[in-house]
Structure 1
Amino acid sequence: MSHPLNLTTALMLATPPFLWAGNAIAGRMMSHLASPFTVNLIRWSVALLILLPLGRNVLRRDSGLWPHWKRFVVLGLLGVGSYNALLYLALRTSSPINVTLVGASMPIFMMAIGRVFFGVRFLPMQILGALLSVTGVVVVLCRGDWHALLTLRLVPGDVIMIVATIIWSVYSWLLARPTEPAAIRKNWSGYLLAQVIFGVAWSAVFATGEWTLGQPQFDWGWPLALALLYVSTAPAIIALGLWGAGVARVGPNIASFFSNLIPLFTALMSSAFLGELPQLYHGAAFMLIVGGIVLSSRR
């Protein structure tokens, strides 16, 4: 059962978007240095080594995890093995600002999945807010030119990011519908470790396919090492742990609107680190997304 949003929970849900914005910037920096599925495997392998001493108790036979191992296989596939790998893949052909703004379509996917698969009903104002946010996404896809919708040619990264956003929406709903004992969920490091273990296995499968079927790239050096160190810690362990706890408190629908802070943080970081200045249509899209947040938050 979800609880009212308070300051502590708001801070808990606002921190991951800031860290994930940094993940998008780092992913863009690594896009010409290493292949996306390889980056994802290294990222979560490092995170696994960090989490092992913190949450190893969850691996005991009597921890209550093992009767629910199939659930953690799915959570590991969606939240660890798939989402960020697709994000890094999207960043090879799209900018961090565009990718995160496209990801701001999450509320509409949250509502659709919640209604179809979980029977959740939403207020008309919430639906209107979600549609307004999606309008902001359309502004990004057409680059601010409505006439371009008639001959719209999506950048591959934009399409990939839409798929990634749907995957993350499903992941968040599954987090909000726990079947495992409460003791496992309260142990954030153990709960995250259980997902990462299976997620690393999925990541290894995808990275193997990348090296077998594609043209892998891996240019080792300090820039790649520092970027990997960042994405393996703050946006992985800290952000995912806080997001899971926040979703458990207020539910995925309210939490999803905090993800719309990512474009704002990304735009600021892109200007500072990549020299990719926001365009006028980015500002218009962000205002539409914020308007959607305000409408959807009203009761």
Structure 2
Amino acid sequence: MRSRNLDTLKGIALVNVATCAWATNIILGRYLRGQIGPLTLTAARSIVATVVFALILRKRPATERKAGADLKLLSAMALAGVVLFAPTLYLGLRFTTAINGTFINALGPLLTAGFAAWLIKEPFSVRQVIGAVSALAGVGVLVSGGFSSSAGKPLVNPGDLLIVLAAVLWALYSIAVKKVVSHRSPVSATALSMYIGLPFLLVAAVVESSITPVTWSPGLLGIIVYLGLIPAALGFLSWNAGIKYLGAGGAMVFYNTLPLYGTLFGFLFLGETLGPTHLAGGALILAGGLVAAIKKKASVELTPQIVNK
């Protein structure tokens, strides 16, 4: 019993390391909004992450280093999760707060479950339906600012809509992942999707930087290395290690700590504040996620999510 409790604590710690790391990605994406374009930032951090996963993949069997029959699914992962997700997220963070970004990102697991039910006919329970309605209502409150606007300002923040689009892209990425990791390790799938997506990001970054040049500095380079090592690499490894101890369903419950860390870091490092809209919308999103993730006997086992936040 003591060993089991220790394993549970290890799992909780590991998944919290992951969600904390992903929250810092959103905070830094907001912080860098005026210093580097979203495509250039994504390409630069992807170079670092790709090197990390390439080193890990070297120790894997030769079959895991080749795409083989999974090329189409890996290409779908590359398009949605590597090429489009992060630039859309970073672009959205130019217009909305990091706190909003982390709350809206909490939609990810529910969107994935919804798309899985639609596209690959996975079961979608009544609890998930209730959770999805609650979470979507919360996002509606957030993106509308409580359905009120100041004079001259749009009712809906375009940055919030971009973050919602990023969450949709992540859900589609996760559907491709669900198919691939049924017969291939998550590390292999992540690394190969990065190999496929990185050349497109590099071309896009060259075009973007020719239009909006970047002023490189040691501080900016340090942040990029951090983004590649911690949110992209360590976050992924910690999440999957946590799943080993908690199961996928147990890990998903703690995915809802992402907005909690995001709110804390947004307040401490960016000076962002929580308003009634954040409290109301955030509560609906978190409640929806918990209702969907926790079953009566807390024994739910969801398909593991591959993570490259």
Which interval holds the TM-score relative to the shorter structure? 0.7 to 0.9
> Could you say what secondary structure the match of 1:122 adopts?
coil
Q: Distance in 2 between matches of 1:52 and 1:159?
A: 34
Assess if the C-alpha contact under 8 Å between 2:110 and 2:289 holds in 1.
no
Moved over 6 A (4+): 245-249
CA distance in 2, matches of 1:61, 1:104: 34
SS in structure 2 at match of 1:153: coil
1:230 aligns with 2:216: no
Q: 2:68 aligns with which of 66, 69, 76?
A: 66
1:267 aligns to 2:267 (yes or no): no
Give, as a single letter, the amino acid of the residue that structure 1 aligns with 2:266.
S
Deviations 1:231-268 (Å, cap 9, x if unpaired)? Answer: 111101122344467679956x8766644322111110
Q: Secondary structure at the match of 1:177?
A: helix
- Alpha-carbon separation, structure 1, partners of 2:243 and 2:179: 10
Contact between 2:253 and 2:290, CA under 8 Å: does it hold in 1? Answer: no
**Alpha carbons of structure 1 residues 66 and 38: separation in structure 2 relative to 1, 3 Å:** same
* Matched residue SS, 1:138: helix
* Aligned residue identity for 1:298: K
Q: Deviations over 1:52-101 (max 9, x none)?
A: 33212559478554332332222122222221111111111111111222
Aligned to 2:192: 194
Residue number among 201, 204, 207 corresponding to 2:205 in the alignment: 207
Q: Aligned equivalents of 2:174 and 2:238: distance in 1?
A: 12
Q: How far did residue 23 of structure 1 move? A: 0.4
Contact 1:76 1:202 in 2 (8 A): no
Superposition pairs of residues 102-181 of structure 1, within 5 angstroms: 102-144=104-146, 146-147=147-148, 153-178=155-180, 181=183
Distance 2:137 2:161 in 1: 16
- Tell me, in whole angstroms, the C-alpha distance in 2 between the residues paired with 1:153 and 1:205: 35
CA distance in 1, matches of 2:243, 2:72: 21
> Offset at 1:175?
1.8
Which residue of 2 is the match for residue 298 of structure 1?
295
* Partner-residue secondary structure (3-state), 1:233: helix
CA contact (8 A) 2:78 2:193 kept: yes
Q: Could you state the TM-score of these two structures normalised by the residue count of structure 1?
A: 0.82
In the TM superposition, residue 20 of structure 1 has moved relative to its aligned partner by: 0.8
Q: 1:157 to 1:116 in 2, by over 3 A?
A: same
Cα separation, partners in 2 of 1:231 and 1:64, compared to 1, 3 Å: closer
Unaligned segments of structure 2, at least 5 residues: 1-7, 297-309
Once the two structures are superposed, the pairs formed by residues 37-52 of structure 1 within 5 Å of their partners are: 37-52=39-54
Question: How far apart, CA to CA, are the structure 1 residues paired with 2:99 and 2:181?
Answer: 36
User: Sequence identity of aligned pairs in percent?
Assistant: 24
Closer, same or farther: CA 285–62 of 1 in aligned 2, 3 Å: closer
User: d(CA) in 2 for partners of 1:62 and 1:119?
Assistant: 27
Q: Which moved more, 1:82-91 or 1:276-285?
A: 276-285
Q: Determine the C-alpha separation between the residues in 1 that align with 2:154 and 2:137.
A: 15
Query: How many positions carry a matched residue from both structures?
Result: 285
**Equivalent residue for 2:3?**
none
Residues 37 and 206 of structure 1 are in contact (CA less than 8 Å); yes or no, is this contact kept in structure 2? Answer: yes
Instruction: Give 1:81's aligned residue.
Output: 83
Aligned CA distance change for structure 1 residues 80 and 10 (closer, same or farther; 3 Å)? farther
Does the 8 A contact of 1:77 with 1:202 survive in 2?
no
Once the two structures are TM-superposed, the CA of residue 8 in structure 1 deviates from its matched residue by 5.5
2:213 to 214, 217, 222: 217
Partner of 1:3: none
Distance 1:117 1:256, change over 3 A: farther
CA RMSD of aligned residues (A): 3.0
136 and 61 in structure 1: CA distance in 2 versus 1, 3 angstrom threshold: closer
